[in-house]
Structure formats: structure tokens, C-alpha cells
């Protein structure tokens, strides 16, 4: 109902990933093509998926313009808070956290809010 500055990734089945997102950005346009929510499928890969992989995948598959507003280097842009199952990702190993079935990943921008 209310538009939130966040995105959510939920594992559906094995190697299946669902997204709800309205990703924040500095400019007026939304990064993910203006869509609030995304449902996507993560491909099966030999390695287990961790957040680092996930970010690369998001960058390649979801970000349409100005990816630097979301990803910088191999991590999220400073100022974007990441929650894994409603808990600070800093407690979960950040980029090295291994995705589990039914995980919910939330990205919240603390940029340009007030």
C-alpha cells in the first residue's frame, strides 16, 4: 500500500528467487525500471549463492540504469542498509552470507530521506 524504499528477495523453491522492490536512488527515476516489485528466478549454479553473487546477479539482470546508485565495487552503495530475514547483515557475514531457502533480503536506502 505505501510505497517503501526497499526491496525484498525471497527464496521460493530451490534456486528460485522472488523479488519485491522499489529501490531508492539519487535521481528521480527508479533503478529497477520503475517497478516496485520483482519476481525473478535465480539460476542454479555450482557454487552456493551468497550475497556477493546475488549483487552481481542483480546488477546484471535487474538494474537498468546508473547501477552505481545501488552497487559500488562489489558491495552495496554506502548508505544502503541490508537486512537478511529482518536482521542486520553485519551480523550475518555481509557479502559472505549463504542464501537459504525462503530467505528474505531487504535493501533500504538511507540516502536522501528526511
Partner 1 sequence: MEWLSLEQKCMKCKECSAVLIIRVGDAFCKACFKEYFVHKFRAMLGKKRLIYPGEKVLLALSGGPASSSMLQQVQEGLSWEAGKKLRFVPGLVHIDEGAVRGQNLKDREKMVAEVELVLKRSGFPYQIIFLEEVFNLPSSVVRWDSKNIPSVADDYKAAVDGFLCRHTQLKNAESGIRTCSTGAGVQAKLAELSIKEPEPTASTRTLRLPSAQSTQALNQLFDSVTSLTAKEELLHTLRSHLLIHTARAQGYSKVMLGDSCTRLAVKFLTNISLGRGAFLAMDTGFSDGRYGDVVLVRPMREYSLKEISAYNEMFGVPTFFSPALNSKPSEKGSIHQLTETFINKLQSDFPSTVSTVFRTSEKLNVAGSVESPDSDSAARCLFCLCPLDTQIEKASAFHATLVSEHLSQKRSPDLPEAAANQCCASSEEERRCCRKPAEGCSSTTSRADERLTLLDLLCYGCRVTTKDLTMLDHLPHYVRSEADCRTRRAAMKKEIQEFLLHNNTDLEDVLKA
Tell me if 38 contacts partner 1 by CB under 8 A. no
Q: And the C-alpha cell for 53?
A: 553473487
Tell me if 7 contacts partner 1 by CB under 8 A. no
What is the C-alpha end-to-end distance of the chain, expressed in Å? 20
Give the whole-angstrom CA distance, residue 87 versus residue 33.
Answer: 27
Q: CB–CB of 66/31 below 8 Å? A: yes
In this chain, which of 62, 70, 77, 105 binds partner 1, going by CB under 8 A? Answer: 77
Give the whole-angstrom CA distance, residue 14 versus residue 45.
Answer: 11
Tell me if 37 contacts partner 1 by CB under 8 A. no
Tell me if 3 contacts partner 1 by CB under 8 A. yes
Residues contributing to the site for partner 1 (CB under 8 A): 2-6, 22, 24, 26-28, 66, 77-79, 81, 83, 86-88, 90-93, 96-98, 106, 108-114
Amino acid at each position: 500500500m505505501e510505497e517503501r524504499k526497499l526491496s525484498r528477495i525471497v527464496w521460493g523453491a530451490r534456486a528460485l528467487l522472488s523479488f519485491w522492490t522499489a529501490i531508492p536512488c539519487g535521481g528521480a527515476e527508479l533503478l529497477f525500471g520503475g517497478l516496485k516489485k520483482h519476481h525473478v528466478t535465480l539460476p542454479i549454479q555450482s557454487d552456493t549463492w551468497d550475497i556477493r553473487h546475488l549483487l552481481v546477479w542483480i546488477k546484471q539482470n535487474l538494474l537498468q540504469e546508473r547501477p552505481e546508485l545501488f552497487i559500488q565495487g562489489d558491495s552495496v552503495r554506502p548508505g544502503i542498509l541490508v537486512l537478511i530475514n529482518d536482521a542486520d547483515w553485519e551480523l550475518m557475514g555481509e557479502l559472505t552470507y549463504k542464501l537459504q531457502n525462503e530467505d528474505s533480503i531487504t535493501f533500504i536506502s538511507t540516502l536522501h530521506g528526511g
